[in-house]
A and B are shown apart, each in its own frame.
Chain A
Amino acid sequence: MTKYLIYAGCLFLLIWSCRRNGDVRPGTQPYTLELPSNFPAPVYDMSWNPLTVQGVALGRRLFYDPRLSRDSTISCGFCHQQFAAFAHFDHPLSHGIDNRTGLRSVPGLFNLIWQKDFMWDGGVNHLEVQPLTPITDPNEMGEDLARLISRLNADQKYRGLFRDAFGEGEINSQKLFKALAQFMATMNSFNSKYDSVMRHAPGVQFTAEEAGGYATFQAKCASCHKEPLFTDGSFRNNGLPYNPYLHDAGRMRITNSTGDYLKFKVPSLRNVIKSPPYMHDGRFYDLFDVFLHYSENIEQTPTIDPLVKNRIPLSNQEQRELYLFLNTLTDPGFINSKSLSEVLITD
């Protein structure tokens, strides 16, 4: 008996002495994140930024606060709209302060905790440092980080909210980024019809056409748009004709390697019906144009992906069925979630 006690004691000591200092701060309530059973383990290590009710709420407020931009006109939520799965509906290229236009389309935001690289070219390597780009980019929010931090510190309301979430002390960029990351970590989409079918939810089945579309999808699209996230996270050239106005070299901009010329991150296709236009430059407004691209308009360049090189023939019926299948990836609970919706900021 004593022997077991000693073992237990040692084990306790071991765990105690090796514990990380990332426990939830006293005075905050832990936020329990619901995770789907059919997904892999998240990439984002939340033990370094434990989600709390206060932290998530603060992140949400920051996400919807236009005062994060230089002239207080543009919030994250301005470009990332919930009804479009947090893409910018109907905007091929992003639209920032002073009516400036960016170089790329706004991707939807969801399941970010499973993502390793961010941006179409994967230039950003961590969810927490992601907001730095839009905040400081002159084409987006155009604000100086140091100025923003001092503005936040001068704001009575924010001082209180940051204290509640992260404890005493000055507001710094780390707290700002961690709060935004906490909110973004809750933007998860895994309750589409597709998911119900995969989890054998009682009474939910694909229609015959959806099932046909799923079969086509698995045969022709799923090696890149890999289930269950509908992306394998890799960078590939899917044969889009080069856009001479934007001169976007894609992944090569980050790696300097000519082998990465015109490669872009494979986007998830969850909620895709809700987030037109499509591709890194928003060139297609309609999914049927996307199908047409894969089946007929592949441009041959040295870095073209072998999987699309010989085009992906799609009959009219296959296209229709694919469309209906992609429609099952829409997650109405996510798009209408009250806990992610815009908060009106009056103070």
Chain B
Amino acid sequence: MKPYYLLPVLFLLCTACKKDKQEQGNIQVTFKNVVNGVPLVLNTAPYTNANGETFTVTTFKYYISNISLIKMDNSELRVPDSYFLVDENTAASKTITFNAPVGEYRAVAFKIGVDSIRNVSGAQTGALDPVNGMFWSWNSGYIMAKMEGTSPASTAPGQTLTFHIGGFKGNFNAVQDVNLVSPISLTVGLERRPQLTITADLYTWFTGVNLVKFSENSAIHVPGELAWKISTNYRYMFRITDVTDL
């Protein structure tokens, strides 16, 4: 018997590996950082956490990665190589644009942090470049999100707050999945680019399932249970607050 049936299989394999040629548009997302609904102002503005402790914020950064778009039929479409570092201190980093195939979508999903694969794949570049100060050298791995500030309640020298949240292994994997349903569907066309505003509320970091008191916890800079607990709080920090789809 001649294995002619292998021909179509081979052909399918070839096409499966071939780069996607579908028509691409794009989506723009602007992140607005707030604390308990109030716009975040670095260094000066005082805020109060859920435990009644006042604090200021000097640094607020987080990774958004592995973006997917959810189609109207609920199937998921991955945006390849999507890694962004949103940094309150860098205006340009707060608006991100990524390619999306022409079509209609009902939700966006992403990870807060960097997936485990990129944590173990050696030297990276772009948003993942360690010059961004989001990589632990002594214990290889990305800091998924970072908040630094001060609080009179902190017992650390200089009353500082240092929350470096990371860890991609085992029970305390701090990479969190977020899924945000859009209030109206998003239609990507060649000339039509939906713009979303996503609000990130830093207040959620210290409240929710795991209440954080600065008097007891003012510094995290290792992966582990504490870091993971904060990540389970902040996975609820995002809301879509505005959509322009024209």
Interface residues in chain A, defined as those with a beta carbon under 8 Å from any beta carbon in chain B = 3, 6-7, 10-11, 13-14, 17-18, 48-49, 119, 123-129, 132-133, 136-137, 145-146, 149, 172-174, 176-178, 181, 253-254, 256
Question: What would 24 A/B residue contacts be, using CB atoms closer than 8 Å?
Answer: A7-B6, A14-B17, A17-B14, A17-B18, A17-B19, A18-B17, A48-B121, A49-B122, A123-B138, A124-B137, A124-B138, A124-B140, A125-B119, A125-B120, A126-B120, A129-B122, A137-B138, A146-B131, A172-B129, A173-B123, A174-B124, A178-B123, A253-B139, A256-B223
B7, B122, B222, B224 pick with most chain A CB within 10 angstroms: B122
Contact A129 B130 (CB under 8 A): yes
A-B contact count (CB 8 A): 84
Contact B137 A133 (CB under 8 A): yes
Shortest distance from the beta carbon of B107 to any chain A beta carbon, whole Å? 32
| A149 CA / B133 CA spacing, docked (Å) | 14
Contact A145 B131 (CB under 8 A): yes
Interface residues in chain B, defined as those with a beta carbon under 8 Å from any beta carbon in chain A = 2, 6-7, 10-11, 13-14, 17-19, 119-125, 129-131, 135, 137-141, 222-224
Other than the given A126-B121, A256-B222, 18 more pairs (CB < 8 A) read: A3-B2, A14-B10, A14-B14, A18-B17, A48-B121, A124-B137, A124-B139, A126-B123, A129-B123, A133-B137, A137-B137, A137-B138, A172-B129, A173-B131, A174-B129, A176-B123, A253-B139, A256-B224
- Given contact pairs A149-B131, A173-B130, A173-B131, A128 touches B123 in the complex (Cβ within 8 A): yes
* Chain A residues with CB under 8 A of B121: 48, 126
**Selected contact of B10 from candidates A10, A125, A145, A254, CB within 8 Å:** A10
Residue of A with least CB distance to B11: A10
**Selected contact of A132 from candidates B2, B19, B135, CB within 8 Å:** B135
Contact A13 B123 (CB under 8 A): no
| A208 CA / B122 CA spacing, docked (Å) | 45
| A62 CA / B5 CA spacing, docked (Å) | 55
| A173 CA / B128 CA spacing, docked (Å) | 10
Shortest distance from the beta carbon of B80 to any chain A beta carbon, whole Å? 13
| A6 CA / B141 CA spacing, docked (Å) | 47
**Selected contact of A125 from candidates B2, B7, B11, B140, CB within 8 Å:** B140
**Selected contact of A11 from candidates B2, B10, B130, CB within 8 Å:** B10
Query: Which 3 pairs of residues, A with B, have the shortest CB-CB distance?
Result: A128-B122, A177-B123, A128-B123
| A17 CA / B14 CA spacing, docked (Å) | 6
| A137 CA / B223 CA spacing, docked (Å) | 19
Contact B17 A129 (CB under 8 A): no
* Chain B residues with CB under 8 A of A17: 14, 17-19
| A254 CA / B130 CA spacing, docked (Å) | 19
Shortest distance from the beta carbon of A129 to any chain B beta carbon, whole Å? 6
* Chain A residues with CB under 8 A of B130: 129, 132, 145, 173
Residue of A with least CB distance to B169: A255
